[in-house]
C-alpha cells in the first residue's frame, strides 16, 4: 500500500527561550515545559498528539486484520518455570511447588501453588483481580523458608514504586502487613519465618513522585505483624546518597548478604552480617568498586562468587571470610572462551550458564571446579532457570528460540537427562521459518554477530521488509527468544534481524566497556553497520528497512536516525533516553552516569552533546517515518524525553513521512503491562510499518 500523500497537521508545540550553558557551550532547550507531565499545557499537548496518532493509525486498513491475528496467536497457555519451597519433611507436609500460568489472553499471569506436580493447582494470587483494566501487576515475590507465607510486591500502572504485602499460602488470606515506598528491591525471609529484609526510600513528594530523583536507599528488616514505622534499619549510608542495597539471606540461614550497587555500574561492593549473633556488625568483605561480584552460595564461612575481577568473561572464586585478603582467594572455575552469565549450586554441583556467540551453553562442575558435563539443549537458543536448593537433584529450565515458544524441561541432575514438562502450543509451523547467525564488520573492523530470522525461501532481491532491533548497553545480553508479535511480522513476509552490538554483555565486560561513555559511538556504528550489511547482502533496502529499540535501545534508534536519516525507511524508538544532557535529573537517571557519563562533567559533556538525539536533529531534514512510543507513568525513563524529541522532530522534519508519538496512559516503562495493551501497541506498530514500508499484506 503506498504511503499517504496527505500531509499531517501536527499539534502546536510552542517554544520557550530556555538556554543553558554547559561549560561555555550554549544549548537551547525550547521544549523544557514538556518536562512537567501534569501541567495543563502538557496534558493538552499529549491529548492532541494522541488524537493525531491514533487517528492516523485507525485509518490503516490492515490494522484490524493484524490485531486479530495477534490476538489469535497470543491465545495459548504460557507457563512459568516451577520452583519449590518449604521444608522437606517425610510426609512432604510443608513442601510446595509454585509457578505462574497465563491461560492465553489474561492481562496478567496467575500465581499457583500445589503440593506435588500431579496435584490440582490452587490459585494463590491472581493479579487480574487487583484492577479492572489489568494495570496493577505483581512486581516481586518471596516465599518463606517453611513455604507457608508469601511476601509479594505490587506495581500500579507500570511504576517502579512498589507496595509489599504478605499472604498466607494455605488460606490465601492477606495478613495486616503493608509496606510502601519500595523501589529496586526484593524481599528475603529469615529462617525463623518471622520477617524479611527489604530496601526502601524515604517517602517522596506525592505530587512529583514519578519525576523526583531517588537517593539514600536504606536496608530494613520487617517483622511480621508490626507496622512499617517499627521496621529495623539494618544498614544505610548517609554519606553515600547514590548507594543502593540488595539484602539476601543465605540458604543455610546463617548470613545476611548485602550487595551494594552504585547506579547501573556493574561494579559492586559486598558486605555481610552474621545472623546467628544478634549483636553482629555489618562486615565490609569487598569495599572497592573494582569488579562485579555475584554471590552463589556458601559452605559456612566459605563464600562462592561469580566475578569478572581479572576475568572480563567471568570466573568462580571462593573467599574464606576468616582469611578475606585477596591473596587468599581461591579460583574454582577459571575464565573460559565463553561468557559466564550466572552460576548456581544444585546437587552440590555448580550449574554454570554461559553465552557462546550470544546463545546459551550450560555446563556442570563439581565444587572443586572439575568439569562434569554439558547440558544438551534442543538447539541454538536461550535457556534459563536451573533454580533450586543445594541438595536438589531435580530442577527445571525453559528453552526458547526465535521459532520455539518457551518449552519447560525437567532436568535430572544425577542422570543428566532432560524431559519436557510443559510445551506451549502456538498456531504456527516452526518448520516454515529459519534462523541463521552471521558476522559482519563494524566501522572500526570489530566483528559483530547478528541473528536473522524469516520465512524459508525468501528472495534476496533487496525487497524484503526488515525489522532491525537492538539494545547495546548496560551489559545486557540480547539472546534468541520467541515472540508472537515478531511471528506476525514474519508471517507478513518480514525479516527480523538482531545484532549483538557493543555495550551489551554478550562477550563479557570488555564488550560492555567498548560501548560506554566516550565510546558510545561504537554502539551506533555497530547498528548502522548491521543496516548496511543487510542492504549490501540484498535482504532489504532503505525504503524497506525499519529500526527499533526500547529504553537504551530507544536512544540507539534516536541517535542513528539523527546521524543517518538517509539509511532507514522507518524508525520506532520506544521509551527512549533522548535528552542526554538532562537524563540524570529525573528519578533513577543519575544511576546511568556510569554508563553514559554526565553533562555536568566538562570532560564527558562533548561526547554526550555530539550524539544526544534531541540536540542533533537538523532543521529542514527528511527523517524516516517515525512512531515514538512512551507512557505517561514511566518513572524509569520519564516521558519528557520522548515528548521533547517528538516536538523537535516534528519541527525539523520535511517531507510526507509521518513523525508521530503514541503516548500510552496508565502504563510505565514496560514491566507488568497488561496483555490487552501489549496487543494494541503491537498492532499499531506493525500497521504503521505496513504503510511506511509499503508492505503487501
Look-up of cell digits 494494541: 680
Determine which helix (DSSP H) or strand (DSSP E) holds 692, and give its type and residue range: helix 675-692
Catalytic positions: 551, 669
Angle at 9 between CA 7 and CA 13, to 5 degrees: 140
Compute φ and ψ for 280, nearest 5 degrees. Answer: -65, 140
Angle at 145 between CA 141 and CA 150, to 5 degrees: 30
Question: Nine-digit cell at 544?
Answer: 524497506
Question: Nine-digit cell at 399?
Answer: 528453552
Nearest to 555 by CA among 521, 509, 590: 521
636 CA to centre of own chain: 11
Which residues 6+ apart lie within 8 Å of 283 measured at CB? 271, 272, 273, 274, 321
User: Rounded to 5, what percent of the chain is helix, strand, coil?
Assistant: 20, 35, 45
Angle at 8 between CA 6 and CA 9, to 5 degrees: 135
d(CA 287, CA 269): 5
d(CA 186, CA 141): 7
Compute φ and ψ for 255, nearest 5 degrees. Answer: -135, 150
Question: Nine-digit cell at 339?
Answer: 561468557
d(CA 317, CA 309): 10
CB atoms under 10 Å from CB of 123, counted, come to 12
Give the chain's count of helices (H) and strands (E): 10, 39
d(CA 550, CA 516): 17
Determine which helix (DSSP H) or strand (DSSP E) holds 510, and give its type and residue range: helix 509-513
Nearest to 59 by CA among 684, 696, 697: 684
Q: What is the 3-state secondary structure (H, E, C) of 520-563?
A: HHHHHHHHHHHHHHHHHCCCCCHHHEEEEEECHHHHHHHHHHHH
Cβ atoms of 199 and 164 closer than 8 Å? no
Phi-psi region of 474 (alpha: psi -120 to 50; beta: other; left: phi over 0): left
Question: Nine-digit cell at 151?
Answer: 511476601
d(CA 581, CA 640): 13
- Helices assigned H by DSSP within 149-215: none
Which residues 6+ apart lie within 8 Å of 178 measured at CB? 163, 164, 165, 228
In a 3-state reduction of DSSP, which class is residue 90? coil
CB atoms under 10 Å from CB of 2, counted, come to 6
Cβ atoms of 472 and 551 closer than 8 Å? no
Q: DSSP character for 653?
A: B
Amino acid at each position: 500500500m503506498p504511503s499517504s500523500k496527505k500531509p499531517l497537521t501536527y499539534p502546536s508545540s510552542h517554544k520557550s527561550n530556555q538556554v543553558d550553558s554547559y561549560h561555555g557551550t550554549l544549548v537551547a532547550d525550547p521544549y523544557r515545559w514538556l518536562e512537567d507531565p501534569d501541567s495543563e499545557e502538557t496534558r493538552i499537548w499529549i491529548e492532541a498528539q494522541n488524537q493525531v496518532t491514533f487517528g492516523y493509525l485507525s485509518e490503516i486498513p490492515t490494522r484490524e486484520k493484524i490485531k486479530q491475528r495477534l490476538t489469535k496467536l497470543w491465545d495459548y497457555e504460557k507457563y512459568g518455570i516451577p520452583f519449590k519451597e518449604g521444608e522437606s519433611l517425610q510426609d512432604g507436609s510443608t513442601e510446595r511447588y509454585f509457578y505462574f500460568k497465563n491461560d492465553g489472553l489474561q492481562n496478567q499471569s496467575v500465581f499457583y501453588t500445589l503440593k506435588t506436580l500431579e496435584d490440582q493447582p490452587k490459585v494463590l494470587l491472581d493479579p487480574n483481580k487487583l484492577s479492572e483494566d489489568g494495570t496493577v501487576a505483581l512486581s516481586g515475590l518471596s516465599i518463606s523458608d517453611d513455604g507457608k507465607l508469601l511476601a509479594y510486591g505490587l506495581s500500579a500502572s507500570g511504576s517502579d514504586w512498589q507496595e509489599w504485602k504478605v499472604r498466607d499460602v494455605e488460606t490465601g488470606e492477606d495478613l495486616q502487613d503493608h509496606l510502601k515506598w519500595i523501589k529496586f528491591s526484593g524481599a528475603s525471609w529469615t529462617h525463623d519465618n518471622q520477617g524479611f529484609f527489604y530496601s526502601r526510600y524515604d517517602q517522596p513528594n506525592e505530587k512529583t513522585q514519578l519525576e523526583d530523583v531517588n537517593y539514600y536507599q536504606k536496608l530494613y528488616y520487617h517483622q511480621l505483624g508490626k507496622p512499617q514505622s517499627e521496621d529495623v534499619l539494618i544498614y544505610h549510608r548517609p554519606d553515600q546518597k547514590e548507594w543502593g542495597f540488595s539484602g539476601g539471606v543465605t540458604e543455610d540461614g546463617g548470613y545476611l548478604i548485602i550487595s551494594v550497587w552504585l547506579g547501573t555500574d556493574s561494579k559492586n561492593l559486598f558486605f555481610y552480617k552474621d545472623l546467628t549473633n544478634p549483636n553482629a556488625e555489618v562486615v565490609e568483605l569487598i569495599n572497592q568498586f573494582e569488579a562485579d561480584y555475584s554471590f552463589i552460595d556458601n559452605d559456612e564461612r566459605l563464600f562462592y562468587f561469580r566475578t569478572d575481577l581479572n576475568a572480563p568473561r567471568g570466573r568462580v572464586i571462593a573467599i574464606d571470610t576468616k582469611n578475606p585478603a585477596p591473596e587468599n582467594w581461591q579460583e574454582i572455575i577459571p575464565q573460559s572462551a565463553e561468557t559466564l552469565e550466572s552460576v548456581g549450586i544444585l546437587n552440590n554441583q555448580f550449574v554454570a550458564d554461559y553465552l557462546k556467540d550470544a546463545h546459551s551453553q550450560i555446563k556442570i562442575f563439581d565444587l572443586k571446579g572439575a568439569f562434569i558435563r554439558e547440558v544438551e539443549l534442543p538447539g541454538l537458543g536461550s535457556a534459563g532457570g536451573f533454580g533450586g536448593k543445594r541438595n536438589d537433584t531435580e530442577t527445571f529450565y525453559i528453552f526458547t528460540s526465535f521459532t520455539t515458544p518457551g518449552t519447560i524441561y525437567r532436568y535430572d541432575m544425577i542422570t543428566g537427562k532432560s524431559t519436557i514438562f510443559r510445551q506451549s502450543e502456538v498456531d504456527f509451523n516452526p518448520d516454515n521459518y529459519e534462523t541463521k547467525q552471521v558476522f559482519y564488520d563494524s566501522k572500526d573492523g570489530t566483528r559483530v554477530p547478528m541473528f536473522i530470522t524469516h520465512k524459508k525461501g525468501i528472495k534476496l532481491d533487496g525487497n524484503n521488509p526488515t525489522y532491525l532491533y537492538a539494545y547495546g548497553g548496560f551489559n545486557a545480553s540480547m539472546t534468541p527468544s520467541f515472540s508472537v508479535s515478531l511471528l506476525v511480522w514474519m508471517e507478513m513476509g518480514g525479516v527480523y534481524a538482531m545484532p549483538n552490538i557493543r555495550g551489551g554483555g554478550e562477550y563479557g565486560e570488555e564488550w560492555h566497556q567498548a560501548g560506554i561513555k566516550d565510546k558510545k559511538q561504537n554502539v551506533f556504528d555497530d547498528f548502522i553497520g548491521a543496516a548496511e550489511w543487510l542492504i549490501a547482502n540484498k535482504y532489504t533496502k532503505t525504503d524497506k528497512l525499519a529500526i527499533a529499540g526500547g529504553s537504551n535501545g530507544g536512544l540507539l534508534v534516536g541517535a542513528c536516525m539523527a546521524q543517518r536519516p538517509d539509511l532507514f525507511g522507518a524508525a520506532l524508538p520506544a521509551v527512549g533516553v533522548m535528552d542526554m544532557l538532562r537524563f540524570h535529573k529525573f528519578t533513577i537517571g543519575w544511576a546511568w552516569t556510569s554508563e553514559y557519563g554526565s553533562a555536568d562533567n566538562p570532560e564527558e559533556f562533548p561526547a554526550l552533546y555530539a550524539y544526544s538525539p534531541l540536540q542533533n536533529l537538523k532543521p529542514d531534514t527528511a527523517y524516516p517515518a517515525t512512531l515514538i512510543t512512551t507512557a505517561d507513568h514511566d518513572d524509569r525513563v520519564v516521558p519528557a524525553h520522548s515528548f521533547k524529541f517528538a516536538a523537535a522532530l516534528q519541527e525539523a522534519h520535511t517531507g510526507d513521512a509521518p513523525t508521530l508519538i503514541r503516548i500510552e496512559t496508565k502504563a510505565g516503562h514496560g514491566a507488568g503491562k497488561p496483555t490487552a495493551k501489549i496487543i494494541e501497541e503491537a498492532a499499531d506498530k506493525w500497521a504503521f510499518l505496513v504503510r511506511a514500508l509499503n508492505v503487501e499484506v
